[in-house]
Amino acid sequence: MKAIDLGSSGLLVSEISVGCMRIAGLEQDEADALLNTALDVGINFFDHADVYGAGKSEEVFADALSRSSFTREQIFLQSKCGIRDGMFDFSRDHILSAVEGSLSRLKTGYLDVLLLHRPDTLMEPEEIADAFSRLQQSGKVRHFGVSNMNPGQIELLRKFVDQKIVANQLQLSLTNTGMIDSGINVNMEINHSIDRDGGILEYCRLHDITIQPWSPFQYGFFEGVFLDNDKFPELNRAIDALAREKGVTNSAIAIAWLLHHPAKMQPIIGTTNASRVRDIAQAPTVEMTRKEWYKLYLAAGNKLP
């Protein structure tokens, strides 16, 4: 598995990450298989959030790691905070208490990365800066990032925060390509030209912020998986044909499409199936041409101007 520098942080992490949102309900042997398979295929980066399974997902992961032959020092742990019941909360006190909770549940002394989970319009960047500094100085968090933020929101943070913003977790898949569409259809009076994200794709590239695509197999907002879905016949025909040609699975092709983009993204895969993790891990081996990349883009229903 190829290693990438996460947002010029110096953390050399696997270019595919395992998202742990759904692991709360796994049986012990299933959790063990998921973790060990990921590590066996070279995936060493695991994405959490304090709200996943109401904290249970972090506990299940920690227990699985304790039974594994791998050590904490061999992996990278990322967690997120800021989502509370009926609101978002980026206050200093909540960030600090949320990190303490994640550290306790993950049974670790530090997080490699902490992301702010979705934008809080009531955020006071001075408080966030204070929280980040306290967490970094205490050694409890090594690096910091955001989730689902636009350039203006990140710039507001950067005005006050001393630490680099190393990652931005954003929804992106073959069927959710808004941040790509607007950059292709510039100066066009069509829906695909609408920039809903403030040029976030190019902004992250300019500022060495690693984009972490979440739900890379989903269409809509958690409406379902597009692979093997009758709603997307042309896309699946194109993916399946390329998968046969490359000798990999359709899931590997969907991730390879993201990895081929020069932004050097780090997709977050949310499967809890160990065998699927092994299949998806083939994605970095896929050599995809520019023509093949655009063929999949067009098969998803997009058009070029």
* Residues recognised as catalytic: 52
Q: How many CB atoms lie within 10 A of CB 32?
A: 17
Q: Which one, of 302, 245, 258, 303, lies nearest residue 284 by Cα?
A: 258
Burial class (CB in 10 A: 0-12, 13-18, 19+), 290: exposed
Among residues 174, 162, 155, the alpha carbon closest in space to that of 134 is found at 162
Grouping H, G, I as helix, E, B as strand and the rest as coil, residue 209 is coil
First to last CA, the chain: 36
- Residue 229 C-beta-side C-alpha neighbours within 13 Å: 14
60, with CB counted inside 10 A (0-12, 13-18, 19+), is buried
CA–CA separation, 243 and 165 (whole Å) = 35
Answer whether 21's CB lies under 8 Å from 57's CB. Answer: yes
